[in-house]
Amino acid sequence: MVNDVGQLAVGGPLAIGAAAAFGAASVLQFCASRAVPEERAGRPRLLVRLIRIRGWRWSTLLAAAAFALQVAALSLVPLLLVQPLLVTGLVWYVLLFGAVQHQRPDARSLLESGLCLLGLGAFLLIAQPARSQGRGFESFGSAALLGVAVAVTVGLCLMSALKLGRKWRPLPLAIAAGICYGVTAGLISSLGLQSEPNLFAVFGQWQVYAIAVLGPFGVLLSQNAYQAGPMGAPALATITVTDPLVSIAVGLLWLDEQIRTGPWMVLGEVLALAVVVVAVSLLARRAPHVAGA
């Protein structure tokens, strides 16, 4: 359980604020990505075209604010608490997109949103994440293993995107983006475990430069996913689910963060996450612009 209730009281709302800002940024990014010619996955030229669109430039400001809130939350509470809370970004996305399109959410969308929040709350209540007492990524072997895992999984996703048809192409791109986001969050959290958390010490850590690569690459892949087909909300849902699942794996396997692990606790945690995944999937399928398409 988080030791400092005061830190939890501040870190939790910061994470929810980050989710709201990410959701708003995603609405603008999806609209902008549909207004430029499609690019092959991973090509930076897409970002060059997007930056000419005013809505996308506003989205980068929102995303920067969301990132700042996320970093602030990660400095106070465990990665395993912050990243699941970012799932609420999809709820914000659906509500905000409906507002932009002047469409009120129907009862079923509200029910699915409530189911998502219920599953999320159940997971956090059962798991009670605790921050690691270690420093994280102390050995070269653990860092190299994470790098290989990221390179292999993202590479497989990009290969799949090249082979799949237009209907399914957004999904592996979204999974790759979610992996980049989840690992980036883990790297940010690991920086907070350094014994000397000052500016000069931080810039001497390899995680900073890995974040500088993975973060923008994740943004590029997410834009590719939005652009690849008429599946903006399902692509965002895939990112939304993949990000916290990857973060949970990084937190448990690399950062030594803790959750309750009794047999019944693990079963409850798995079922709660399953409820979140199902609710997110249902909510994405009923997003306004998907139904319109």
Q: Grade residue 109 by pLDDT with cuts at 50, 70 and 90.
A: confident
Tell whether pTM > 0.85.
no
Question: For the segment 120-168, what is each residue's pLDDT rounded down to a tens digit?
Answer: 989 999 998 887 665 567 677 888 999 999 999 999 999 998 887 777 7
Q: Grade residue 291 by pLDDT with cuts at 50, 70 and 90.
A: very low
Q: At a CB cut-off of 8 Å and minimum separation 6, what does 292 contact? A: none
CA distances from 290 to 166, 228, 256 (A): 15, 14, 40
Domain ranges of the chain: 5-288
Residue 293, classified by CB atoms within 10 Å of its CB into exposed (0-12), middle (13-18) or buried (19+), is exposed
Q: Alpha carbon 198 to chain centroid distance?
A: 26
Question: For the segment 45-97, what is each residue's pLDDT rounded down to a tens digit?
Answer: 888 888 888 888 999 999 999 999 998 998 888 888 898 888 888 788 777 87
Residue 289: both structure tokens together: 């612009």
Q: What is the pLDDT of residue 1?
A: 46
CA distances from 219 to 133, 135, 157, 227, 233 (A): 31, 28, 15, 12, 16
